[in-house]
């Protein structure tokens, strides 16, 4: 459905926008092509591609806002988004118009100067689809090309919109198998008139690939698979024949193999190579997937493809035999670095596994790799073979049970984009220190229920004792690292109270911008790391900020909104962020004097609690069921990170029709139906577990009140 927010003003605003940006040539909106992106530095006021340029440096040459005047930044405009679920989009700004997305892949077009809405397109992703992805109904933004805006919808559609009015022009279903939970959360990239998009779903048993579609028609141009299909059938291409030799048994055929290309891509126009980041294995459990043998190409790899044909050129596998959710889908940056006196065309990535990699991007040769956060699964990367030297400390398949894995499945770095400043030579990396226990299932107990993660491991066990949880939460730090990729060490760093801080933006004004998990927009001096400016934005800000100019004035935009796997799944560990989810576009400029609406303040009050009727043994089952089925949104051990209701506060009335909520879902509001697969007795055990957690919370609050100093 297409909603015209301001039908009367829409046309006017677009004409105005076009005329401001190009006085001599009245351009159509989003009239971007490859030449314009390649020459992006000639029009630094626009942000025309996901990482601004094809090399994805997220560096802006703009200097109007700089280290001497950044303190004068004030709010220029704000716009509330429809859903207060996670916001991960990088806006695209072209000739005075901003195109961005919110939860459920809804696309918003604004006048970039005033924030006036121009149009909105809601692809109407079914609101109960959230359970079919690991980490909420997020979206990382659109791509634009020759008058069209492209969005990957959470349900697997790739949709082209008319940039003038947001009307759909074409739509294709990118899913290989409609019965499986393929999603899209990543932003498309466009090279030589082909729209490139991958999928998510490696926690739900899918096979990964990336597809190129003709930007004009939506016709499929090529598809590159990242893991082999059924060995009983001929491999799709030589790359798949090569990959097949690194897989054993055929367990992965049933469980998809994984390797989804859910986020990063970069493009080198000179080499005509497209670089893609490939995700984790499906299932995580390597024994069920590949008999515990083989490297399992191209899981956790960076793969270089011919951008026109999708043919394999080279790969570098960061984590052979991946079994820890160590995706290599994290942001890829291309740059020129001087290494040992030689100028090298490099590719840089800091994937989840905790090592910062510098590769020669012409051939995939490893130039260096060092740890940027604490790591326990490997001691170092052997430079002659390019392979990690594993310690065994994280090997949960050694028959000795649960292992603490460092970094955790959230990664030393996740999707939050980093940036590279060619002047300082530093990469500004939103890193995090996390650890989590992983324990294999003895027999595959994958649940045949939609909406349920199938990874062949027990759900990470988080202790319930609040003191222990507090300790773990305090050890899960966030850090902004100013990483020197030549010396492979941090030049400066900033510590944050939690993980999951925002992506970064570097500018020629000697600035690094970042949103924080604790609800601020901040700017540091790019060379020294000195904090120069900060402003509240009311909610966790995770997305990568952008900067642009309209009418000669520079703006900085933060997409604000808390969510994703950290608050949703590991809810109890995210509470030090102390923010409520509130999704909004917040744009700053020098001397801006608009008002940010006040933050939400709903004090949670524990209602009268139903009596607890279950035995210890029943509560244990209830807990396993809750953590397996509900914790992905409502938080482990029924402690929510605040994005989805905290069920410990459920009213007596809702307890009365709990079964109805679980079976019926709240399908218009993001709560899926669990009508199939769990019986009423099991639902009652889940409810009893929630009640036990409410009673524990009540005792905790009473103890805290008793020990609080008298007023």
Residues that bind ligand HEC (CB under 6 A): 130-131, 451, 629-630, 632-634, 644-645, 647, 650, 654, 658, 661-662, 666, 669-672, 674, 686
- What torsion, rounded to 10 degrees, do the Cα atoms 702, 703, 704, 708 define? 100
Q: How far, in Å, CA of 634 to CA of 627, rounded?
A: 9
* Shortest separation between residue 108's beta carbon and ligand HEC, angstroms: 21
CB atoms under 10 Å from CB of 243, counted, come to: 28
* Shortest separation between residue 432's beta carbon and ligand HEC, angstroms: 23
CB 473 within 8 A of CB 498: yes
CB 227 within 8 A of CB 259: yes
Report residue 485 as tokens: 């990729």
188 or 460: CB nearest ligand HEC? 460
Sign of CA dihedral 155, 158, 162, 167: negative
Nearest to residue 256, comparing CAs of 357, 158, 179, 367?
Answer: 179
Report residue 457: phi and psi, to 5°.
Answer: -130, 155
Report residue 377 as tokens: 């699964």
383 or 604: CB nearest ligand HEC? 604
* Shortest separation between residue 208's beta carbon and ligand HEC, angstroms: 22
136 or 319: CB nearest ligand HEC? 136
* Shortest separation between residue 604's beta carbon and ligand HEC, angstroms: 11
Instruction: Identify the active-site residue in 67, 111, 263, 325.
Output: 325
CB atoms under 10 Å from CB of 663, counted, come to: 15
CB 619 within 8 A of CB 625: no
Q: Is the peptide bond before 407 cis (omega within 30 degrees of 0)?
A: yes
* Shortest separation between residue 183's beta carbon and ligand HEC, angstroms: 12
Q: Is the peptide bond before 298 cis (omega within 30 degrees of 0)?
A: yes
170 or 649: CB nearest ligand HEC? 649
* Shortest separation between residue 127's beta carbon and ligand HEC, angstroms: 9
* Shortest separation between residue 688's beta carbon and ligand HEC, angstroms: 11
* Shortest separation between residue 28's beta carbon and ligand HEC, angstroms: 39
Q: Any idea which residue has 């049933």 for tokens? A: 254
**127 to 366, 407, 583: CA distances (angstroms):** 44, 32, 17
73 or 629: CB nearest ligand HEC? 629
426 or 638: CB nearest ligand HEC? 638
347 or 650: CB nearest ligand HEC? 650
Report residue 314 as tokens: 């080279």
CB 533 within 8 A of CB 526: no
CB 27 within 8 A of CB 95: yes
Q: How far, in Å, CA of 139 to CA of 123, rounded?
A: 12
CB 617 within 8 A of CB 557: no
352 or 634: CB nearest ligand HEC? 634
Report residue 92: phi and psi, to 5°.
Answer: -105, 135
- What torsion, rounded to 10 degrees, do the Cα atoms 521, 525, 526, 530 define? -90
CB atoms under 10 Å from CB of 618, counted, come to: 16
* Shortest separation between residue 350's beta carbon and ligand HEC, angstroms: 29
306: annotated active-site residue: no
Report residue 333 as tokens: 């940056």
Q: How far, in Å, CA of 236 to CA of 176, rounded?
A: 14
451 or 547: CB nearest ligand HEC? 451
Q: How far, in Å, CA of 446 to CA of 454, rounded?
A: 5
Catalytic residues: 325
């Amino acid at each position: 459905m297409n909603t015209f927010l301001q039908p009367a003003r829409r046309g006017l605003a677009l004409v105005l926008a076009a005329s401001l940006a190009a006085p001599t040539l009245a351009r159509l909106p989003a009239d971007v092509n490859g030449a314009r992106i390649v020459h992006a530095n000639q029009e630094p006021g626009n942000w025309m591609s996901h990482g601004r340029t094809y090399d994805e440096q997220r560096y802006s040459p703009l200097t109007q806002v700089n280290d001497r005047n950044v303190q004068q930044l004030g709010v220029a405009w704000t716009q509330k988004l429809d859903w207060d679920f996670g916001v991960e989009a990088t806006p695209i700004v072209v000739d005075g118009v901003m195109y961005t997305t919110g939860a459920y892949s809804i696309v918003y077009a604004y006048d970039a100067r005033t924030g006036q809405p121009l149009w909105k397109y809601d692809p109407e992703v079914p609101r109960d689809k959230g359970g079919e992805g690991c980490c909420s109904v997020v979206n990382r933004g659109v791509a634009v090309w020759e008058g069209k805006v492209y969005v990957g919808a959470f349900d697997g559609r790739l949709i082209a919109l008319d940039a003038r009015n947001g009307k759909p022009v074409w739509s294709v279903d990118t899913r290989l198998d409609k019965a499986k939970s393929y999603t899209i959360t990543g932003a498309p990239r466009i090279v030589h008139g082909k729209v490139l998009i991958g999928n998510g779903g490696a926690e739900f048993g899918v096979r990964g690939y990336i597809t190129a579609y003709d930007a004009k028609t939506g016709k499929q141009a090529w598809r590159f698979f990242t893991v082999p299909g059924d060995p009983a059938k001929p491999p799709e291409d030589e790359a798949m024949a090569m990959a097949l030799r690194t897989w054993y048994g055929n367990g992965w055929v049933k469980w998809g193999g994984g390797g989804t290309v859910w986020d990063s891509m970069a493009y080198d126009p000179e080499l005509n190579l497209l670089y893609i980041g490939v995700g984790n294995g499906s299932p995580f459990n390597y024994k069920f997937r590949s008999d515990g043998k083989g490297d399992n190409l191209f899981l956790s790899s960076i793969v270089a493809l011919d951008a026109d044909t999708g043919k394999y050129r080279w790969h570098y596998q960061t984590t052979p035999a991946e079994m820890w959710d160590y995706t290599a889908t994290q942001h890829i940056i291309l740059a020129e670095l001087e290494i040992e006196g030689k100028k090298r065309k490099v590719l840089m990535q800091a994937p989840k596994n905790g090592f910062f990699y510098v590769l020669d991007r012409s051939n995939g040769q490893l130039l260096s790799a060092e740890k940027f956060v604490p790591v326990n699964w490997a001691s170092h990367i052997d430079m002659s073979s390019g392979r990690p030297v594993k310690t065994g400390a994280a090997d949960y398949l050694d028959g000795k049970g649960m292992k603490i894995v460092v970094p955790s499945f959230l990664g030393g770095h996740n999707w939050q984009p980093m940036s590279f400043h060619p002047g300082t030579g530093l990469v500004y990396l939103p890193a995090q220190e996390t650890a989590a226990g992983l324990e294999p299932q003895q027999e595959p107990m994958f649940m045949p229920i939609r909406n349920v993660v199938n990874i062949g491991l027990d759900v990470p066990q988080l202790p319930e004792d609040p003191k222990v949880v507090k300790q773990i939460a305090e050890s899960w730090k966030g850090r902004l690292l100013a990483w020197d990729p030549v010396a492979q060490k941090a030049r400066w760093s900033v510590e944050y109270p939690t993980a999951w801080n925002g992506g970064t933006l570097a500018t020629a004004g000697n600035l690094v911008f970042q949103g924080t998990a604790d609800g601020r927009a901040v700017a540091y001096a790019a060379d020294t790391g000195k904090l120069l400016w900060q402003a509240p934005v009311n909610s966790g800000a995770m997305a990568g900020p952008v900067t642009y100019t309209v009418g000669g004035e520079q703006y900085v935009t933060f997409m604000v909104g808390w969510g994703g796997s950290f608050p949703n799944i590991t809810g109890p560990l995210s509470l030090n962020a102390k923010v409520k989810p509130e999704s909004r576009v917040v744009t700053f400029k020098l001397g801006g004097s608009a008002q940010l609406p006040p933050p939400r303040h709903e004090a949670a009050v524990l209602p009268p609690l139903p009596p607890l009727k279950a035995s210890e043994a029943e509560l244990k089952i209830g807990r396993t069921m809750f953590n397996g089925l509900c914790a992905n949104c409502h938080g482990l051990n029924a402690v929510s990170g605040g994005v989805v209701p905290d069920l410990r506060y459920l009213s007596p009335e809702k307890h009365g029709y709990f079964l109805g909520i679980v079976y019926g879902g709240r399908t218009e509001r993001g709560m899926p139906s669990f009508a199939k697969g769990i019986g009423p007795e099991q639902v009652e055990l889940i409810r009893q577990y929630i009640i036990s957690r409410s009673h524990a919370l009540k005792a905790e609050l009473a103890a805290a009140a008793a020990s609080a100093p008298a007023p």
